[in-house]
Structure 1
Amino acid sequence: MSSNCVGTADFPTVIDLNVGGVFYTTSLKTLTSQEESQLFNLFTGKEPVERDAKGRYFLDRDGVLFRYVLDFLRDGTIVLPDCFREKERLKREAEKYQLHALVDAVVGEGRSRPPGVITVGYRGSFQFGKDGLADVKFRKLSRILVSGRVALCRDVFGETLNESRDPDHGQSERYTSRFFLKHSFLEQAFDMLIEQGFKMVGSCGSGTAGGAGELKPGVDTEENRWNHYNEFVFVRE
């Protein structure tokens, strides 16, 4: 990569950018639309800006998130996708570019989210190894259950939410305990809730030991005997 730097205001009206390996083409007017920003300083010659080996202006920042920076520079507003999971990273990028209005917009999106409660639960069995209890593993689950206000559950879990067991499709201002997730990764569900501003305020669990009954071929008798149910309550204020 060339370390050749530009130190004058002699920039073309159309700018080719390399932002962390992701390429963009935009206008000089867009990049200099916020006069107090670092981008304004870079593309008016107040600060030097590097070029890569092909002559594109190079910014050593997150190239994927820069698309939202450009959207803000063009329109003065920002619209993030549903279940956007990188608001903290985008806020950090906005702070680096000294785009204070963008920082406020990202933070404001979090504040505008409605309060609510979502309960996540799962039924499962303890998973045993060949040596029985000596080789017991943490858990084995097949379905994560979701309870709460329909619109809120849809907003948090998006396309990962399975509504096939819920009989009242289409009505969002109601509550249900029939949703479940399309995946069985409890940590992924927790991550999505935390990223949407929820905090876990309570949890409970229970376990049972009983007869296994008739089992399908290949099912471990001891493993099937020990079942448990766990539930976690998340709140966004």
Structure 2
Amino acid sequence: PEEFTDWRSLLSEARYWGLSVVERIIRDAMNASSTAVSTITIGYHGTLAAGRGGFEVNFRRVDRIMICGKARACREVFGRFLNETRDWNMDSQRYTSRFYLTHQFVEQAFDALAAKRYKLVSSNCSGPSLSHAKNVVEDEPSFAHYRQHVFTRYM
């Protein structure tokens, strides 16, 4: 079970009964639990704004910053800026992808993660397609993009 903590007693029982294979499995589990990893993923939809003639493309706004990870870790990092209304009764040991931040500043989210010793380990992006048959692009969805950043902390 995820919440099991009495590994030493279980190990002594395995030794007592001479279960060497079980003893090895328990030792491996004890080593794995001592190097706990916490991962938080930040995802957001953004919009780009094209300048005159389409030569210059600037970042315009973030709609919502979504947070994925263990509820306890997300609460620890983001505190009062974490909106939990979509998963208000979430157990602190469970994973969720339904939290989001009450602000729209990606840099502030990165600073909060860095303050709690999280390191960026991966990121990806789906960018807008800027190659259109028309000369002028008028619809905003064609400039929408999605980014995701994965942060990890080894305890």
TM-score by length of 1: 0.44
Note the residue ranges of structure 2 that are not aligned, 5 or more in a row: 1-35, 131-136
Q: How does 1:110-189 map to 2 (within 5 A)?
A: 115-129=37-51, 131-166=52-87, 169-189=89-109
How far did 1:127 drift? 2.0
Q: Deviations over 1:170-202 (max 9, x none)?
A: 521100001110000000000000000000011
How far did 1:123 drift? 1.0
SS in 2 for 1:224: helix
Q: Deviations over 1:30-79 (max 9, x none)?
A: xxxxxxxxxxxxxxxxxxxxxxxxxxxxxxxxxxxxxxxxxxxxxxxxxx
Change (3 A) 1:154 1:221: same
> What amino acid is aligned across from residue 233 of structure 1 in structure 2?
V
**Structure with the higher fraction of residues in strand conformation:** 2
Q: Deviations over 1:76-131 (max 9, x none)?
A: xxxxxxxxxxxxxxxxxxxxxxxxxxxxxxxxxxxxxx7400000101221234x1
Of residues 216, 223, 235, the one that matches 2:140 is: 223
Q: How does 1:48-87 map to 2 (within 5 A)?
A: none
Larger Cα-atom Rg: 1
**Aligned partners of 2:102 and 2:92: how far apart in 1?**
19
> What amino acid is aligned across from residue 164 of structure 1 in structure 2?
T
Runs of 4+ in 1 over 6 A off after TM superposition: none
Length, aligned pairs only: 113
**Structure with the higher fraction of residues in helix conformation:** 2
**Aligned partners of 1:137 and 1:183: how far apart in 2?**
20
**Contact 2:43-2:149 at 8 Å conserved across structures:** yes
**Aligned partners of 2:83 and 2:54: how far apart in 1?**
34
Note the residue ranges of structure 1 that are not aligned, 5 or more in a row: 1-113, 211-219
Q: Does 1:193 align with 2:113?
A: yes
SS in 1 for 2:108: helix
RMSD (CA atoms): 2.1
**Contact 2:47-2:59 at 8 Å conserved across structures:** no
Q: Specify which structure has the bigger relative contact order, considering alpha-carbon pairs within 8 angstroms and separated by 6 or more residues.
A: 2
Give aligned-pair identity as a percent. Answer: 44
**Aligned partners of 2:119 and 2:105: how far apart in 1?**
18
